[in-house]
Amino acid sequence: MKLKDKLLSSFLAFENQVDIDSYVHDIRSEAIKNFEIKGFPSKKDEAWKYTSLNKILKEDYSVFAKDAEALDYKEVKKYFVHDIDSYKIVFVDGKYSSQLSETTHDGIDVCLMSSVLNKPKYHLIIENYFNKLASKEDSLASLNTAFSREGAFIHIPKNKMAQKPIQIVHFSTGNEAALMLQPRNLIIADEHSHVQIIERHQSLTTHPVLTNSVTEIFAGKRAFVDYYKVQNDKENASLIDNTYIKQKGDSNVSLHTFSFGGKLIRNNLNYYQHGEHIDSTLKGVTIIGDKQHVDHNTLVHHIEPNCESHQDYKGIFSDGATGVFNGKVIVEKEAQKTNAFQANNNLLISDKATINTKPQLEIFADDVRCTHGCTIGQLDESALFYMRSRGIPEKEARALLMYAFANNVLESVRIPELKKNINKLIANKLGVNIGFDL
């Protein structure tokens, strides 16, 4: 059976499993209808011109996972940023693992989407926030909405600060021959609050996994949200990550995406600025090889005046890897004095690697400063020679240059332990040990 048909028929079974709250029920039914009409996106859609889902949709994914055995923390410790104290929301095959998690309701809410969807006391939150940002047009976001049941819920009330970073980790155990996961996260940072979040998807075996995740983030006035996505999954894991961010005046949201692993990764990152003096940051480092495919599809919608956005994506592509960058900046005519910056720099290491990039500007206001730049090139031979003439072996010299290339993005990581962790991942990926931290 085709995946689309399977999902459509599973929806009825799914509806019977979840408590039918009439409000969410309507949203789900609406969403599945949209998915039924549109189906999975194909290369004919302009937004999917360079990324084909055909290959990964061929697998016979289980839509509902069997209960997996509990995981031992020692075995999976390495997938956490474990040398800092943090809240943890951990899911195993899409189900919440209380034993690995550390949640809280003390002043702030760091808990589960399922309890928010089911408990009456959260009803207002659901009505005010749930599915308010996620695109109702996009078929993949709709699919997630239809099956939304579990995920992370984070609510930082006014003037509060999350004392430690929050880690959201999704494990897949390989209990199923092939598994499809659809986590749904809701993050609300009220006025003048502060939160740091690290998100990671990790499969523990090489069984195929397809994750179609939706995250909605609401940043209130003067709120500060610092979000990190670490994508270093096994070779058969694919991820479609849809993130929607709504910012109010004077807020600051920054999101870093580190894509090193997985078979196919598609990041749909959307920022909507509702207020003045907003700062939005989108940064990413992509280092991939083999036949991996990473696609960054970003949107920054400048709606009101005096806002800024900074985009900086770096990519290093070797072997038969494919990189796609599609960055879109829209400046509405009211959004005067906007300062939008977009950069996409790429290194091509092998003959079989491909880069498709489309940095796109749509500007309707005249008093703005919008720039974008995009480069594709190679490592500087004279710089390599310089280092080699000083006794640095070629491999290390190359790695050093690549580090330097990616450093702009790494520099702005605000959690030192995470930075260290990512440096290690990069060193692993490049197969060198440089012996110092950047």
Partner 1 sequence: MSKYTEDDLREELKTKEYEYGFYTDIESDTFPIGLNEDIVRAISKKKEEPEWMTEWRLDAFKIWKTMTEPDWSNVDYEKPDFQDISYYSAPNSKPKYNSLDEVDPELLDTFNRLGISLDEQKKLAGVAMDVVIDSVSVATTFKKTLAEKGIIFCSISEAIKEHPELVKKYIGTVVPKTDNFYAALNSAVFSDGSFCYIPKGVRCPMELSTYFRINQAGTGQFERTLVIADKGSYVSYLEGCTAPSRDENQLHAAIVELIALDDAEIKYSTVQNWFPGNSEGKGGVYNFVTKRGLCEKNSKISWTQVETGSAVTWKYPSCILKGDNSVGEFYSIAVTNNFQQADTGTKMIHLGKNTKSTIISKGISAGKSQNSYRGLVHVSSRAENARNFSQCDSLLMGNECGAHTFPYIEVKNKTAQIEHEATTSKIGEDQIFYCNQRGIDTEKAIALIVNGFSKEVLNKLPMEFAVEAQKLLEISLEGSVG
Nearer to partner 1, 29 or 371 (CB): 371
Nearer to partner 1, 353 or 413 (CB): 353
Q: What contacts 190, CB < 8 A, 6 or more positions away?
A: 155, 156, 157, 158, 160, 220, 223
Nearer to partner 1, 85 or 137 (CB): 137
Nearest distance, CB of residue 240 and partner 1, angstroms = 22
Nearer to partner 1, 175 or 336 (CB): 336
Among 18, 370, 384, 401, binds partner 1 (CB under 8 A): 370
- CB-CB contact of 315 with 345 (8 Å): yes
Taking residues 377 to 396 in sequence order and writing x for each that binds partner 1 by CB under 8 A, - otherwise, the string is xx------------------
Nearest distance, CB of residue 397 and partner 1, angstroms = 17
Q: Does 107 bind partner 1 (CB under 8 A)?
A: no
Q: Does 407 bind partner 1 (CB under 8 A)?
A: no
- CB-CB contact of 305 with 331 (8 Å): no
Nearest distance, CB of residue 376 and partner 1, angstroms = 4
Among 358, 387, 417, 427, binds partner 1 (CB under 8 A): 358
Among 366, 381, 391, 431, binds partner 1 (CB under 8 A): 366
- Which range, of 132-140, 145-153, 219-227, 369-377, touches partner 1 by CB under 8 A? 369-377
- Which range, of 52-60, 128-136, 364-372, 388-396, touches partner 1 by CB under 8 A? 364-372
| Single-letter amino acid, residue 408 | N
Q: What is the DSSP string of 328-388?
A: EEEE-TT-TT-EEEEEEEEEE-STT-EEEEEEEEEE--SS-EEEEEEEEE---HHHHHHHH
Q: Does 287 bind partner 1 (CB under 8 A)?
A: no
Q: Does 401 bind partner 1 (CB under 8 A)?
A: no
Q: What contacts 281, CB < 8 A, 6 or more positions away?
A: 252, 253, 254, 255, 309, 310, 311, 412
- CB-CB contact of 197 with 187 (8 Å): yes
Nearest distance, CB of residue 293 and partner 1, angstroms = 14
Alpha helices in 130-262 (DSSP H): 139-146
Three-state SS at 118: helix
Nearer to partner 1, 231 or 342 (CB): 342
Cα dist. 136→27, 31, 32, 141, 146 in Å? 10, 7, 10, 7, 11
Q: What contacts 102, CB < 8 A, 6 or more positions away?
A: 86, 87, 88
- CB-CB contact of 24 with 130 (8 Å): yes
Taking residues 38 to 57 in sequence order and writing x for each that binds partner 1 by CB under 8 A, - otherwise, the string is --------x---x-------
Nearest distance, CB of residue 187 and partner 1, angstroms = 32
Q: Does 356 bind partner 1 (CB under 8 A)?
A: yes
Report the site for partner 1 in 312-341 (rule: CB under 8 A). 333, 336
| Cβ neighbours of 48 (radius 10 Å) | 19
Q: Does 416 bind partner 1 (CB under 8 A)?
A: no
| Whole-number Å distance between alpha carbons of 285 and 347 | 11
Q: What size, in residues, is the chain?
A: 438
Residue bearing tokens 């702030």: 108
Nearest distance, CB of residue 157 and partner 1, angstroms = 38
Among 372, 387, 412, 434, binds partner 1 (CB under 8 A): 372
- Which range, of 74-82, 199-207, 243-251, 349-357, touches partner 1 by CB under 8 A? 349-357
Nearest distance, CB of residue 355 and partner 1, angstroms = 5
Q: Kindly tell me the sign of the dihedral angle through the C-alpha atoms of 186, 189, 154, 298.
A: positive
Nearer to partner 1, 145 or 346 (CB): 346
Among 364, 386, 393, 428, binds partner 1 (CB under 8 A): 364
- CB-CB contact of 228 with 86 (8 Å): no
- Which range, of 84-92, 159-167, 257-265, 351-359, touches partner 1 by CB under 8 A? 351-359
Nearer to partner 1, 26 or 362 (CB): 362
Nearest distance, CB of residue 340 and partner 1, angstroms = 9
Q: Does 362 bind partner 1 (CB under 8 A)?
A: yes
- CB-CB contact of 244 with 132 (8 Å): no
Instruction: Return the ∠ at Cα 6 (arms to 5 and 8), rounded to 5°.
Output: 65
Using CB under 8 A, list all residues that contact partner 1: 46, 50, 333, 336, 346, 348-378
